[in-house]
Each structure stands twice: as structure tokens, then as C-alpha cells.
Copies of this chain bind each other. A is one copy, B any other.
Amino acid sequence: VLKTVSELAQLVSAQVEGDASLQVSGVSSLEAAQPGQLSFYGNRRYKQALTATRASVILVPLEHPSAHPATLLKVANPHLAFARIAQVFSPEQTYVPGVSPRANVDPTARVAASATVMAGATVGALAVVGERAVLYPGVYLGASTAVGADTVLMPNVTVLDRCTIGARCLLHPSVVIGADGFGFALDLTVPEHVKIPQAGTVRVEDDVEIGACSCVDRATTGETVIAHGAKLDNLVQVGHNSTVGPLSILCAQVGLSGSSELGTGVVLAGQVGVGGHLRIGDLAKVAGQSGIMGDVPDGANVMGAPAIPYRDFMRSWALFGRLPELQAQLREMKKRLEQLEHPTKP
């Protein structure tokens, strides 16, 4: 694909500073870009890379000074504009519709004629596979599951009985949807852990992406929900009866216990753990490895385990490293106090 700078500028409503007739052949990072490619600059951290780049076209913030050998495209949000332009250069993956004779599709399942079911995929009884949906090898779709239009299940994904996946979702390899929630009651008289049947299900709404080896457990009763537009990274755990709000971001290795409730646009950085039966408010941000043990208000920015406001954590953490020094000061003051109390001592 080749696009002119002016075509791309129009796509992202950019002001062009430089040659608008240039042909752009692709996108790349500032460091790796070749002449003819477009890149973006959104963070001062990369100031040096901006100077050194061989990119022919660069997306920059509106307020950026204009002096650069490359053609500049000024936009409100260079990162977002880059995403839109990168999509232009990204070849759409195409699939041959149809069910492989080596797939195992229950005769009661309804598979759209435009869908692709590859060799070694399984579609259970009464399952529904939507228009243009794709099931790679090793995918297991249980009984009475439903997969929406244009959704892609990558190799070895498992979606167990009665779960529903919306439209335009992308489930990466080895994702597991609908395994039993972790619910037991201890009977000390036997003793044994008595299993609480996990009779509920999972609902994944539209435009959700779930990373490789992530797991979303079915509810005890009712539903575990991943709301529309949420994005989950790899190796994430979502416990039974939890709700992940619309447009929330869960980075890799995050874990939600049972019955957690995340609002809209929540961001959990990597390896965050969230206790059960609590709420994280809309647009709250949780720093990496934090542990949430109580409700988090809307818009809060927290860190630590248990989590406290981010600034408080950072201030206290700086002093944590200085605890030996604080202790030494305390000791020294104690001596001086004694000296004052008993001035006769040497």
C-alpha cells in the first residue's frame, strides 16, 4: 500500500508541515523507521530518537515546534493518530469460509456459511457461530455457546457450555472462558471441600480482546461479565461473578477474585490483585503489583498492597528506603535527651 501524506492527514485531521505529496509506504517506531515510513512522537522521553529518526513523516502534538527535516503531521493525539494510520497499512487477514471436514461440529450447531471452522476445532450441540467468525485448530466451543459476527478464536481457545462471546472479539491462543469458579465449602466432619456447583455462565460483550492463556471463570449463579470494549492482556484471571466494566484495561497477569466489580474505563497495571466483593470506580487507575483490599473511588489513582493513594505510596516508599537513617536519628536524639535529663553524666 502507498498513501500520500495528504490522504493520511485527512484521515486523522492533521495539519501538515512539509511535503503533503510524499508517498508513505508504512509505519514504524522512530528508532526503526526507514525513509518513506511514518512514525510518531508523543513523549519527551524519545526526544533523542526524534532527532535521529530516518522517518519521512512524523505525527507530533499540536504544540510541537515545526523545525524538523521530516514532514510533520500535527494532531491532538499522536498515539491515536498513529493507531488509525497503522491500521491503513495493516493487511486485513482473510479466511476461506467453510467448515473443515476435519472439524468436529455437532449436527445441532448453527454455523454461519461465511464463518471459518478449521481442522481440529470442535463445535458443541446447539452452539451458534456468527457471520465471518473464525475458529482456529484446537478451539473447543461447548454446548449452547454463542460466538458473534467477526469474532476470531485463535488456536487452542476453550469456551465452555452456555457462554456467549460478542461480535468483533479477539480471543488469543489458549484463552479459557467458562471454567468453573473456585467455590468450595469446608466440611470439617469428613473432612472435605464440598464443591459449590458453578451453574452460571460468562458473557463477553462486543469488541473485547482477551490475551493468551487468560481465564474468565463462569459465575456460581448468574453471569461473569466482560463488558464491551474491554481489553485484557495475557495470563489474566477473572474470578466468578466478577464484572469488568466497559473499556477497562487489564494488563498482563492481573487477577480478580470472585465478585469484583470494575467500573468503566478502569486501568489495572500488570500483576495487580483485586480482592473479592469490592468495587473499583470508573476511570480508577491501579499501579502495577498493587493489591486492592477495599473499594476504590471513581477516578482514584492508587498503589501498594494494600493500595493507598499513589502519591502517598510514593512518598512513604521513599522514606521506607531511609528507615535505617530515621532509626539512627531517633537513637541519636535519645542520647541527647538523656544528656539533657542527666547533665552530670559525661
Contact = CB atoms under 8 A, between A and B. Distances in A.
B231 A182 contact: yes
A255 interface: yes
A144 interface: no
A308 interface: yes
Given A83-B196, A213-B235, A251-B182, A119 B119 contact: no
Contacts of A182: 211, 231, 233-234, 251-252
Copies of this protein in the complex? 3
Contacts of A211: 179, 182, 215
A195 to B, nearest CB: 7
Given A174-B158, A182-B252, A323-B319, A257 B273 contact: no
Given A173-B176, A305-B289, A119 B140 contact: no
Given A174-B174, A289-B289, 6 more contacts: A89-B199, A104-B120, A184-B231, A193-B247, A253-B255, A289-B291
Interface stretch (A66-74, A127-135, A309-317): A309-317
Interface in A83-103: 83-84, 86-87, 89-90, 102
Shortest 3 CB-CB contacts between residues of A and residues of B = A90-B197, A140-B155, A158-B173
Nearest to A170: B180
Contacts of A107: none
Contact of A252 (B45, B77, B255): B255
